[in-house]
A and B are shown apart, each in its own frame.
Chain A
Amino acid sequence: MTTRDLFDETYSAVTVNKVRSGLTMLGIVIGIASVIALQAIGTGAQSSIQSSIQSIGSNLLLVMPGATRSFGSTVSAGRGSAQTLTPEDSAAIGQLSGVAAVSPSVTGRYQVLYKGTNTNTSVLGVVPAYTSVRNIQVDQGAFITDADVSASNRVAVIGPTVLQDLFGNANATATPDMAIGQTIRIKNIDFKVAGVTVSKGGSGFNNQDNMIYVPLATAQHFLVGNVSYVTEIDIEATDQSVMTQVQNDVTNLLLARHNISDPTLADFNVLNQADIVAAASSVTGTFTTLLAAIAGISLVVGGIGIMNMMLTTVTERTREIGLRKAIGAKRKDITLQFLAESVMLTFTGGVAGIILGWLIALAVTYLTSIATSISVSSIVLAFGVSAVIGIIFGYYPARRAAGLSPIEALRYE
């Protein structure tokens, strides 16, 4: 029996009862479509989370102070409370290889006033490098300059949320030019608004739009009142591949500078952005796997449907099997024929499922903010899985057909 004949025989057997073949295939179609669609949505969600993490800066390392521990005490005041990072630490980090930019900063929350309105927000003392390290873009006006830092100028760059809170009202949204050049009061000290940043769409407890940036030295002198420490050092590595190395170098440098020999007692933490991305990815990856596994169950159910139909077919066509054996078909010929029928059903179902899954993914892209993406590997996998299901669930019925005695089969009523 040639492959061409096998295909012809299989095609005519499958198309003889189109409704039944179609309904049987539906199980596989739904199974494959849900695997493809869920995988595409999962991948889309993953990349949207990754891109939002990337928006806080690229190749970013954060150095935060550790917890305060009084000498001889085990009481911790919490991470980030220690005043152990100094501007000199920051300068030393800037000398390391693989470091593109360093931005030390101090932060605090203060009441901010403009004429009758006021708000309470984070005020960040920064240096100009902060814009490149944290991907800050200025909408109108100018960012903090080196001259501002060295002269401790009382200038401020405000985020769009602060702009609305201070300059907007219920009837009108504020535009940046309404704010630039105006004087706002932070902790009762006058600051001149020099610029407004572009919205980054940050959300939740760490809204990057609800910020006021002032020169580092100004913040240290007028707001914090202490020039000896910084609350965070942001480091931009030259590229992705050196991030781990830079992280180690920074850790070793700071351990040496702070005279700490036991790394577990370090009074600072170095956070790697890649670690944050990896953690978030692993969460979404787990969800994607979970959803795909549930979709996989429907594939198995579809496969059982195929087996059920194939068993019915074998019983219905017992006489035909008897005849084929009488005219010289071997066990192998009969096995192949029925196996080919189930594989054709699952394979066609698989193709339809891929198209349906793709349409669902497209619809999700249009209707939600998730940009779904179908990977080639998931399509290849779907093809493979549907063929394998056809073989697995078609094998038993095919063997049963091949094992029939021609005499019994010809007599079957």
Chain B
Amino acid sequence: MNTIIECKDIRKVYNTGGIETEVLKGITFSVNEGEFVAIMGPSGSGKSTLMHILGALDTPTSGEYFLDGKDVSKLSDDELADIRREKIGFVFQAFNLLPRTTVMRNVSLPLIYEGVSKERREVIAAKALNDSAFPEQFWQHHSNQLSGGMMQRVAVARSLVNDPALILADEPTGNLDSKTGEMVLHTFQTLNAQQGKTIILITHEEDIAKHTDRIIHIRDGNILSDEKNQHKVVARHEKEIP
């Protein structure tokens, strides 16, 4: 089993106005290929900072972070952009889709920066949309005409198009009601079970975290617990209405 993520004593210190705040105080853990992990913690626990580092949006002050075998803890901004483009798929709480733009275009957006041709992009995006169970009749709709649950599944499809080593979902159900949230979690579980996608889900809700295989609790910049989820909840698969 390949190790996708390896964090060794990750520390992050913010310096605001001469006052140093240590947000992460030595995080060490690893994630294997095909795992579905939840990182849990209340606000202020440092889980957002950890998510930024895991997503190669930021670098740690000290410590080492290997993503898919590559040390990304000391890279420049543009090198980090390369890592994000090649290895990471993001799903955000606020969806972050381009408004007044079709679903197809939104999903294929990451491929523009890889220089993939338009025809090829649409083929890959179509597969990603199918994988995230997004109904085909809405592919040419504008993203802002969709419901929240549908929008989030467009975002999931977008995170799949670059065939990432890691899917990083930051509070993906935070803006959704429990029913549509369930829908999105079902999509993640399916991607994990059927395609072996490695997924890290950041949340502060116990109910959401229970849908994963492994739960890492963060408190005050430290790992409080890291254990296998014994009571995994399977998201209900419903015939969804957009």
Binding site for B on A (CB under 8 A): 1-2, 4-5, 9, 12, 16, 319-320, 322-333, 406-407, 410
Distance, CA A333 to CA B112, complexed state (A): 10
**B110 contacts chain A at the CB level, 8 A cutoff:** yes
In the complex, A9→B78 CA distance in Å? Answer: 21
* 17 residue pairs from A and B, CB less than 8 Å apart: A1-B113, A2-B117, A9-B112, A12-B101, A16-B100, A319-B96, A324-B109, A326-B84, A327-B84, A327-B90, A327-B158, A328-B86, A328-B113, A328-B162, A329-B85, A332-B78, A407-B57
Q: Mark B50-92, 1 if CB is under 8 A from A, else 0.
A: 0010010110000000000000000001100110111000101
Verify B57–A327 contact, CB threshold 8 A: no
Question: Chain A's nearest CB lies how many Å from the CB of B61?
Answer: 15
Q: Is the interface of A mostly helix, strand, loop or mixed?
A: helix
B115 within 8 A of A: yes
B206 within 8 A of A: no
Report A281 CB to chain B, min CB distance, Å: 54
Tally of chain B residues near chain A (CB < 8 A): 28
Pick the contact of A331 from B77, B98, B110, B115 — CB < 8 Å?
A: B77
- Please measure, in the bound complex, the distance between the C-alpha atom of A329 and the C-alpha atom of B85, giving whole angstroms: 8
14 additional A-B pairs beyond A1-B115, A327-B109, A407-B58, beta carbons within 8 Å, are A1-B112, A5-B118, A320-B96, A320-B98, A323-B96, A326-B84, A327-B90, A327-B158, A328-B82, A328-B86, A328-B110, A330-B77, A332-B78, A410-B96
Closest 4 pairs between A and B when the two form their complex, measured CB to CB: A328-B85, A327-B110, A323-B96, A330-B81
> B112 contacts A331, CB within 8 Å?
no
Residues of B within 8 A of A (CB): 52, 55, 57-58, 77-78, 81-82, 84-86, 90, 92, 94, 96, 98, 100-101, 109-110, 112-115, 117-118, 158, 162
Cα(A5)–Cα(B116), bound, Å: 10
Contact (Cβ within 8 A) B81 A325: yes
Contacts of A2 in B (CB 8 A): 115, 117
A110 to B78, CA, bound (A): 91
**Chain A residues near B96 (CB, 8 Å)?**
319-320, 322-323, 326, 410
A326–B112 contact, CB under 8 A?
Answer: no
- Give A257 Cβ to nearest chain B Cβ, in Å: 83
Contact residue among A5, A322, A323 (Cβ-Cβ distance under 8 Å from B112)? A5
Q: Which residue of A lies closest to B112 (CB)?
A: A5
Bound: A383/B96 CA distance, A: 37
CB contact between B81 and one of A4, A329, A407, A410 (< 8 Å): that residue? A329
CA distance A291 to B100 in the complex (A): 44
CB neighbours of A323 from chain B (8 A): 92, 96, 98
Which chain B residues border A4 with CB–CB below 8 Å? 118
Which A residues touch B98, using CB under 8 A? 320, 323
Q: CB-nearest residue of chain A relative to B52? A: A407
A323 vs B81: C-alpha distance when bound (angstroms): 11
Q: With A5-B112, A9-B112, A12-B101 in contact, do A327 and B85 touch (Cβ < 8 Å)?
A: yes
